[in-house]
Structure 1
């Protein structure tokens, strides 16, 4: 009799445990959080400062007669600081465009010529001037992928540069005797717009979700144009254009560059 009761009790216990297991909610496997890929698009503002090393491709002037144009014996344009601002649009993660206005100057010009003058048959002149320039450029860039926080890029631009030459001060002295000199004459400086193009390369560094630092190099080509006017039997003169090799550092602010944080919906509880 005791064995029969023990068997019945054991059967009831097993049945109740099985019934309780059927009522308990089955655990729902935790789903991995959804990954949201936000494409960096939108308008941005930029600002840059830099230092430029110009390469003047030469200068010439009319000597005594407009039928006789000769080159300067020496013509050198010194280094200068640069700066600029711009507005652009990030089309996608790999392409962007902007419109920039950049300032170059003031860069000092030092040149010399040889010939005859009032104090001697053989004379060497000292020619001093300077220029400033404003470049208005439309640019396009290709971003070459993001590696951590760094995105390298290449770019190109096309536009115009307004070159403003100051007056050219010309002093001729006897060759080999710098104490025997003519008076100093000043030629009026000339200003003009010139065709320009640029090539860029560099990298952007993510500072925040909408602020990027920019470190790069720019090559700027500026066409030839008028340099100074006529005075005292010499001129006018022109420069043969110049290139600028520029190291730049700056920043871009991307409007709407920060995506809203993703909040996954609560997992449902399933009862079986």
Structure 2
């Protein structure tokens, strides 16, 4: 009996040893792999604010609002007169400094120069011939140049495939210089001949309305094409000469087509690095 118990205990010990070995053999232990550090992308700045400079060239058409003057002399003391005419087209150049506040709003200060716009007009009044007063008309030739300084604000109306339409307005002043006015009365009158009125120059109030589109050629360079309406208030046009003057133009309205370039300063933003997707390891499986 004792021997049988010993054999049974030995058999149980051997079976237990084989069982533990089998379980150890069935246990799957995956290799230890260190997870690399996760690098998240840098967030690009949402703001587009920054200083910029601009340069523009254009072509303009000026609308002359007429001019008033007084004629003095025997029998015509203090008679008002009116000068009418047309202004020809001219080129313009300009530049400015501005600040992009956000995606939709920007402001700048601009200084533009309008090259000479030639003027051709006429006046109607009374002349004498043989002592009798008769109606007569003169031919008037002059021209003007102008410097315009404006503080402007623009609203960008969204960007579509790199193209941004905008509207804007500006307020400021214009320095207008009129050339000498040549007033010519045709032959056949006692006053026939050419009379020169010295042109005047002065600062005047001005405002502008703009609309156009810009194209982002690069992160820093934008191309601009737009239209600008500019109103220049009236002022002194020419001085007194031969019993007539001075003359005051009522206003000048300017319609202008412009093309320009804007360069925005600021650091270049590096592209965001690719997002790392960590490998998901499954827990060990015991069989």
Q: State the Cα distance separating 1:269 from its structure 2 match.
A: 6.2
Q: Distance in 2 between matches of 1:259 and 1:201?
A: 30
Distance 1:33 1:259 in 2: 13
Match of 1:96 in 2: 106
- The alignment status of 1:196 with 2:209, answered yes or no, reads no
1:64 paired residue number: 72
- CA-to-partner distance for each residue in 1:117-168, whole Å, 9 max, x for gaps? 3557332201100100000100011111111101111111000000000110
Q: Tell me how far 1:39 sits from its aligned partner.
A: 2.2
- Give the Å deviation of 1:242: 1.1
Q: 1:243 to 1:257 in 2, by over 3 A?
A: farther
Please list, as runs of the form range in 1=range in 2, the aligned pairs for 1:42-191 lying within 5 A after superposition: 42-64=50-72, 67-72=78-83, 74-117=84-127, 121-174=134-187, 182-191=192-201
Cα separation, 2, equivalents of 1:126 and 1:151: 47
- In the TM superposition, residue 260 of structure 1 has moved relative to its aligned partner by 2.5
Structure 1: how far apart are the matches of 2:234 and 2:59? 22
In 1, the alpha carbon distance for the partners of 2:106 and 2:260 equals: 16
Q: Output the TM-score relative to the length of structure 1.
A: 0.83
1:92 match: secondary structure? coil
- Secondary structure (helix, strand or coil) at the match of 1:230 reads coil
Deviation at 1:24, TM superposition (A): 6.8
Q: What is the aligned length?
A: 255
2:227 is matched with which residue? 217
RMSD after superposition: 3.0
Structure 2: which 5+ residue stretches go unaligned? Answer: 1-18
Taking structure 2 as the reference length, the TM-score comes to 0.79
* SS at 2:78 equivalent: coil
| Change beyond 3 A, Cα 1:116–1:14 | farther
Whether contact under 8 Å (1:210, 1:257) holds in the other structure is no
Shift of 1:205: 0.2
Q: Which runs of 5+ in 1 are unaligned?
A: 1-7
Q: 1-side partners of 2:79 and 2:279: how far apart? A: 96
Partner of 2:26, secondary structure, is helix
Deviation at 1:181, TM superposition (A): 7.5
Q: Distance in 1 between matches of 2:33 and 2:238?
A: 91
Are the counterparts in 1 of residues 71 and 244 from structure 2 also a CA contact under 8 Å? yes
- The structure-2 alpha-carbon separation of the partners of 1:14 and 1:128, relative to structure 1 and needing over 3 Å to count, comes to farther
Report if the CA contact (8 A) 2:150-2:170 is conserved: yes
SS in 2 for 1:238: strand
CA shift at 1:57, angstroms?
1.2
